[in-house]
Amino acid sequence: MHYGLIKMNNLDNIWNYSEDTTLDNYTVIFPCVAVGNVAQLACDLLISSLKMTKIASVYSKALIPVVGYDPYDLNSSNLSCSCEMYKSDDKKLIVFQIRAPIVIKYASEFLEEVITKLKEKNIGDMIILTSSFAYEKKHISTSPFRYVSNESCPYNSTVKTLDCLVHESDSDLKIHGGGFASLLYRIASQKLLPCLIFFKYCSEGNNIPDAYEMVEYISKLLPIIFDKKDCMLQFVQPPSWKLLFGKPPPSDIY
């Protein structure tokens, strides 16, 4: 059942909401397609661990099309597409999942629409997750995590207590390998949305540990995990991660 099929602007995007809901003061977590897909893996972990429910799916020309069955439930016959929105009412949290890169020439228009839609829903603030090339990290002995925040960001005091540093950048914010994070941050700030970029320096490879660490840091910013002691033990990997490194070798090679 589709509530509110909304079309707008030149991209003719379609936002299909599965429930008619307001998101007053919810925090939105938005992943960027970046080095090692760390942000997307972190969002997968959040969605799976918090048993979040899908509330919207977005079709846009700005997104490279991807389709398959629900990656969080192997028995499901519901489709999953390039951009979806998940909600946890308990935590007042919205997590987007972006499963494909955004086409650069449509990026600004699409991301502006995302921010406009979220502001219409009255969200409180946004956390943009991304990653950057490990070789861009200038101070070797420091934490691999960096953040950038605007003045109205509600986490400005909490984030300073964590083991992460402010990202050093000139007036034109750049996060190398970080995808559309800086563009989304700029748009959010222009539209006066409280916003934080949180990223990790890493390399391509097995990026699951990076995602775990990222979620652990987020859980220090947001009250999303009950028991802070064994935080990582409470994370649940989605079943779709089972074959992240390929299928078993064929038996006839032995």
Contacts to another protein by CB under 8 A? 2, 5, 12, 14, 16, 33-37, 57, 59-71, 74, 77-79, 81-82, 99-101, 103-105, 133-135, 174, 176-180, 203-205, 239-244, 246-248, 250-252
Closest by CA to 29, choosing from 221, 176, 213, is: 221
Q: HSE on the CB side for 113, CA within 13 Å?
A: 20
The rounded Cα 251 to chain-centroid distance in angstroms is 38
Please say which residue, 36 or 194, places its beta carbon nearer to another protein: 36
Please say which residue, 107 or 224, places its beta carbon nearer to another protein: 107
Least separation, in Å, of the C-beta of 125 and another protein?
24
Q: How far apart are CA 96 and CA 52, in angstroms?
A: 11
Please say which residue, 233 or 253, places its beta carbon nearer to another protein: 253
Least separation, in Å, of the C-beta of 152 and another protein?
26
Please say which residue, 188 or 221, places its beta carbon nearer to another protein: 188
Please say which residue, 26 or 72, places its beta carbon nearer to another protein: 72
Least separation, in Å, of the C-beta of 14 and another protein?
4
Least separation, in Å, of the C-beta of 52 and another protein?
17
Least separation, in Å, of the C-beta of 93 and another protein?
24
Q: How far apart are CA 183 and CA 130, in angstroms?
A: 12
Q: How far apart are CA 226 and CA 236, in angstroms?
A: 14
Q: What is the 3-state secondary structure (H, E, C) of 193-236?
A: CCEEEEEEEECCCCCHHHHHHHHHHHHHHCCCCCCCCCHHHHCC
Q: How far apart are CA 118 and CA 28, in angstroms?
A: 9
